[in-house]
Amino acid sequence: MSASSPTPAGSREHEVRHRAARLEDWLHEIRERWARRRGHVPTVVPYTGYGSTEWVRVFCRVLLSKPVAANEQSKRRRRRGEQGIRGWRSFTSVPVGDVSVVIEVGGERIEVLADRGGVVDTKVPVALSPGWHRATLSTAGSVSVEAPIWIVGPDVQFGIISDVDDTVMVTALPRPFVAFWNTFVLDEHARIPTPGMAVLFERLVRSHPGAPVIYLSTGAWNVAPTLTRFLSRNLYPAGPLLLTDWGPTHDRWFRSGRDHKAENLRRLAEEFPQVRWLLIGDDGQHDEELYARFSADHPGSVAAVAIRRLSTGEAVLAGGRTKAEEHDTDVPWVSASDGSAIADRLADVGVL
């Protein structure tokens, strides 16, 4: 597929934008002019994608940053190509909207437009074999980067969708401060893995070869590199992060994290109708309600639901718990306080 004219990464916003969105766009324009005067150039930050043997879903974000000089050490250049912008720069860098990004994967080439926040989330038709592949991403004047992509085989019938905060890592903060923590405590060493969860995930992928592992969170795309390193360092299986963008949309002040999760759950059910998902979350946010509703609407797409029960202190910080009686579903539903106990419960219902 050769690109003749750029294709939007998502549906374009023709309607009048919310005044908060217009204000945000105005601020971005000022910051972009200032950054370009300082010599900053568009940089593509790659994220892990996924797909089937007939298409891939590619993610990246375009930000303005200092260029990588030709005489810089090859190690630094390679790190930029693999991880894009790291640390606090991923938050202070200016997003570039409506810029063309060239995607090359499996011999196909397509050009798309980043959205107003610099994010590309697009589907590319391509024939690939199951397993890991890489897409090459670039924009005018930038260093080409590679985004890993996991291809789900047509015979795979089991997958894992997991929340992040208080599920795979312990946040132990009041919910209003979680976003602040994830923004400014940037070192993955500062995050604490949930006991037993990495072992649970490893057992699951070993019991179900080829199963995709997808981390669905309300976190911002800015933290994707840090979360990816955290997951790798703590031996969680590699997989795409489905995150969101901060700030206003064209019709509201703030994006809805619940809508983000619900929409991606529905999308995954449609994209992989043969896959039955194990949904993993915790009882301190909206995971139970979302999973219960999804299970009721798509019972054939859910193998089981596993909920990590927060400690009393964690539940207080999270703003309380959801109530078990709200889960009126025939899908197997297990809960425990750590990964080891959840593994035992999943074995009881035949998932492990």
Domain boundaries, the chain: 7-151, 158-348
The tokens describing 119, both together, are 């994010």
CA distances from 11 to 7, 245, 319 (A): 10, 16, 35
Lowest mean pLDDT among 49-53, 93-97, 322-326, 336-340: 322-326
Integer Cα distance of 10 and 7 in angstroms: 9
Closest Cα partner for 291 from 282, 303, 274, 279? 279
Residue-wise pLDDT tens digits, 174-224: 555 555 555 555 455 557 889 999 999 999 999 999 999 999 998 888 888
Question: Is the predicted pLDDT of residue 9 greater than 60, yes or no?
Answer: no
CA distances from 352 to 103, 264, 287, 320, 345 (A): 38, 25, 22, 30, 9
Integer Cα distance of 341 and 305 in angstroms: 14
Instruction: Supply the pLDDT for residue 250.
Output: 43
CA distances from 178 to 137, 336, 346 (A): 31, 23, 29
Range among 14-28, 117-131, 308-322 rated most confident: 117-131
The residue that leads in pLDDT, 28 or 293, is: 293
Question: Is the predicted pLDDT of residue 88 greater than 90, yes or no?
Answer: no
Instruction: Supply the pLDDT for residue 63.
Output: 87
Question: Is the predicted pLDDT of residue 258 greater than 50, yes or no?
Answer: yes
Instruction: Supply the pLDDT for residue 72.
Output: 55
Q: Which CATH class is domain 158-348?
A: alpha beta
Long-range contacts of 207-210 (CB under 8 A, 24+ apart): 207/352, 208/156, 208/158, 210/130, 210/152, 210/153, 210/155, 210/156
Instruction: Supply the pLDDT for residue 319.
Output: 47
Considering the domain delimited by 7-151, tell me its CATH architecture: Sandwich (2.60)
Instruction: Supply the pLDDT for residue 35.
Output: 57
Q: Kindly give the interhelix angle for 257-271 and 287-297, rounded to the nearest 10 degrees.
A: 30
